[in-house]
Amino acid sequence: MRCPAKLNLYLRVVGRRADGYHELETVFQTIDLCDELAVRGVSGRVRLRCNSAEAPSDHSNLVVRAASLLRARPEAFVSHGAVLTLSKAIPTGAGLGGGSSDAAAALVLLNRLWELGLTVDSLRWLAAELGSDVPFFLEGGAAIGRGRGEVLEPLPDAPTRWFVLAKPPAGVATPWAYAHYRPVGRNGVGLTDFLAAWQSDEPAAIAAGLRNDLEPGVLAERPDIAALLEALLAAGAVNARMTGSGACVFGVCESEAQARSVAERLKASTDAWVAVARSLGAAECQALAAEGA
Ligand code: C5P
């Protein structure tokens, strides 16, 4: 099954919660940059094979934790086991949700393989236990995320949008980014304004509506990420922002042709990982899930 990455087109930190998490108002959008997860049934044990040295193959990988959560369910048997094969294309420490998307795919695939019969609602609970971003990937498309990011309100599919992604060699750990959050610039674009722009056909309007409250705190410590944002704009992107907790940034482009030329310029002028991606609607995400059946 292909596991798509996401961008946070909008991310407002509403406040700090008693449990240490931050209350968010965010807009997720899946894109066509995908990892690939395959499962094969074996008896009694779970093993992960992964093509990336950056992603762990042990219990700290969310895919393995997803499998453990399912095996602990009363519907599961001790004989249930699987070999999971994960091919990573989404960089880690990027804010692109790769690990979360892989975990959501693992829940769906193992629920099928082991014939547990868990409903989407049950999977949502398990997903939220694995991480704040995991529930979003059960449906994909575009959605408003509230709470930790796990309380979702789906948005209707919008026209295809083109982005250029860029990530510096060093990643960002999510807890570090939140620890550096400072409540500055809170008078930015509101969600209503963003949504009005998002529903318009104008890439320039969407570009003007981008917001990420984690960005200033991260940029203060990471001049390499600040430089990439500058480089994206200099290469011709309409606007650029960090996604989630970073370190990946994205530029909004008017068209595929413009995105490809921005990406070429960026590759020539930086040492960053660079990719062109387009938005992936909920219907396309469901098709990816069905493909893996
Ligand atoms: O939920 P997840 O495991 O992805 O969160 C990782 C870390 O990111 C948390 O331990 C917390 O430090 C931070 N976080 C936060 N507020 C959120 C989401 C994550 O403070 N809404």
- For residue range 187-242, list pLDDT tens digits in order: 678 999 999 998 888 888 888 899 999 999 999 999 999 999 999 999 999 999 99
Whether 287 has a pLDDT exceeding 70, the answer reads yes
Cβ of 203 closer than 6 Å to ligand 1, yes or no, is no
CA distance 226 to 95: 15
Q: Is 11 in the pocket of ligand 1 (CB under 6 A)?
A: no
247 neighbors 167 (Cβ within 8 angstroms): yes
- CA geometry: angle at 281 spanning 277 and 286, to 5°? 115
Give catalytic residues, as residue numbers.
6, 133
Alpha helices (H) along the chain = 62-71, 98-113, 120-130, 136-139, 174-179, 191-199, 203-209, 215-221, 223-234, 256-269, 282-291
Q: In which element (H, E) is residue 134 found?
A: none
Q: Whose CA is nearest to atom 9 of ligand 1?
A: 175
- Amino acid identity for residue 189 in this structure: V
- Residue 146 in contact with ligand 1 by CB distance below 6 A: no
- 0.75 surpassed by pTM: yes
What confidence category does residue 186 fall into, taking pLDDT thresholds of 50, 70 and 90? low
In this predicted model, which residue has the larger pLDDT, 174 or 289? Answer: 174
Q: What is the DSSP letter of 189?
A: -
Please tell me the distance between residue 26's alpha carbon and the centre of ligand 1 in angstroms: 14
At what angle are helices 120-130 and 62-71 packed, to 10 degrees?
A: 130
Ligand 1 atom 20 nearest Cα = 21
Per-residue pLDDT tens for 73-84?
999 888 889 999
Please report, rounded to a whole number, the percentage of residues in the chain having pLDDT higher than 90: 83
